[in-house]
Amino acid sequence: MILTLLLIIPLAGGILSWMVARWSVLAARWVAMLATTAVFVIAMAVWLQNPAELGAGTRLIEVNKPWVPQFGLSYHLALDGLNLLLVLLTGLLAMVAVACSWQEIQHQAGLFHLALLTLVTAILGAFLAFDLLLFFFFWEAMLIPMYFLIAIWGHENRRYAAIKFFLFTFIGGLFILISVLGLYVYAGKGSFDYDALIGTAMPAGAAMLLMLGLIFGFAVKLPAIPVHTWLPDAHTEAPTAGSVILAGLLLKTGAYGILRFAIPLFPEASRTIAPILMALGAAGVLYGAILAYAQSDLKRMVAYTSVSHMGFVLLGIYAGNAIAIRGAVLVIVCHGLATGALFVIAGAVQQRTGTRELSRLGGLWEVTPKLGGFTLFFALAALGLPGLGNFVAEFLVLLGTFAASPPLAVIAALGLIASVVYALWLVQRSMFGLNVNELKPADLTAREVAILGVLAALLLWIGLHPQPVFDTVDKSLTTVERALPTGESYE
């Protein structure tokens, strides 16, 4: 019942918000906020009530009922340490998305919240589904509300960015569907259930092709180079809430798909292709950092940092040892917090100054010290300042990667050095220097300070005390670790 509630609450909240907006936009915003808060509170309650069971090798909550049995389709949802962490992140960032849209979205606010909370429902479904066809349904369901969030409430080139996002992710989804159907046929069990399909024996060539289909679909959403080109346009044109959800959650569904499905279902094929995917991850780290430095648009710069950080995720996963994989999971969490905050800041800057161009900014710290302080904090988080969560995450990825491939660890470390350059460049061009355009925007409101303050506190807490995150996911990653080249169970 709890898992079904996690899906019903945001969807019902979105519908109710849309209906209430006809009479009161403020009431519609509060309905959306209460719905997202409920998701976070439920997930937090599960986390706090099951400290002993987390990592015990069993699923905390599970529902598995026949849905369309003649086609092998079941309503199978489950919660373990890995997706519990992601459900918590989803609830938190959904609240952030609603809060940061409080003043920004004035046009069709009810419809906006319907699209936003429908998207949150689809993301939660993708994280919770343990039937592969049900997972695919939620995977594709994410496309429609995200398309409309960009196309209706986005910026200047929103329709182009929305169509590009839709085409890339839709084509990636088709490859996932083909692989799921192929696995269903080879298993011969008349079921799309994860537990029935895991361990399916098949020829090595077929396993490789089916796994590559999954990997392609997940890599598009991650995104990994070279299928990343939709991301900068989507981020740049999306409204602030869309960018927060896109960076903090949608990209994470790609990483989750690799960890949950691609590697456990195809361990031998994953072991074979791991060096190539590690190389793509390391290249993505360096490529994204260099391209971020080259941008003149604030949101586009932050978008390319996502390419770099998600390269760490891909590299850490396929390095295959316990240290690197845990580092990759921590990157997933910390990237969602830090980059989500940077997009909130970018939205605040654009809303106050009417521009995202770094050349037209500068000297803002003097007139907006709160905005400047938070910009500096989250830029330092993005570059991996010791004491913050991103440092712990990326250090673990590099440490684990060095054990598997020293050259790739060196390449990724160069990307980490490049991140220092783009992060400080971002702060210098936007907050320091001369205020040549004599901009005098208002400083952050109490609402915005609360949003950014919570995200900053969480990054600091994870940086100083990451063990609760590791305890949560430990046993959920055992299958992944044993499947990969240097894999060994973390004890």
Domain assignment of residue 177, yes or no: no
DSSP string, 377-407: HHHHHHHT-TTSHHHHHHHHHHHHHHHH-HH
Domain assignment of residue 466, yes or no: yes
Domain assignment of residue 39, yes or no: no
pLDDT in tens, 304-321: 999 999 999 999 999 988
Residues facing 78 on adjacent strands: 62
| Sign (positive or negative) of CA dihedral 195, 196, 199, 202 | negative
What is the residue type of 378? F
Domain assignment of residue 446, yes or no: yes
pTM to 2 decimal places: 0.94
Domain assignment of residue 461, yes or no: yes
Least confident of 59-73, 401-415, 460-474: 59-73
Domain assignment of residue 453, yes or no: yes
Q: What is the pLDDT of residue 209?
A: 95
Q: What is the pLDDT of residue 490?
A: 36
Number of domains in the chain: 1
pLDDT higher than 80, residue 112: yes
What is the residue type of 177? L
Domain assignment of residue 431, yes or no: yes
Least confident of 47-56, 149-158, 323-332, 401-410: 47-56
Least confident of 68-72, 131-135, 269-273: 68-72
Domain assignment of residue 23, yes or no: no
Residue 207 near residue 198, CB atoms below 8 Å: no
| Eight-state DSSP code of residue 246 | I
Cα–Cα distance for residue pair 65/75, rounded to 1 Å: 5
Sheet strands (E) in 226-328: none
Cα–Cα distance for residue pair 427/418, rounded to 1 Å: 15
Q: How many residues are given for the chain?
A: 491
* For range 234-255, the mean pLDDT: 93
Q: Which domain holds residue 296?
A: 274-491
pLDDT higher than 90, residue 34: yes
What tokens were used for 217?
A: 């679909």
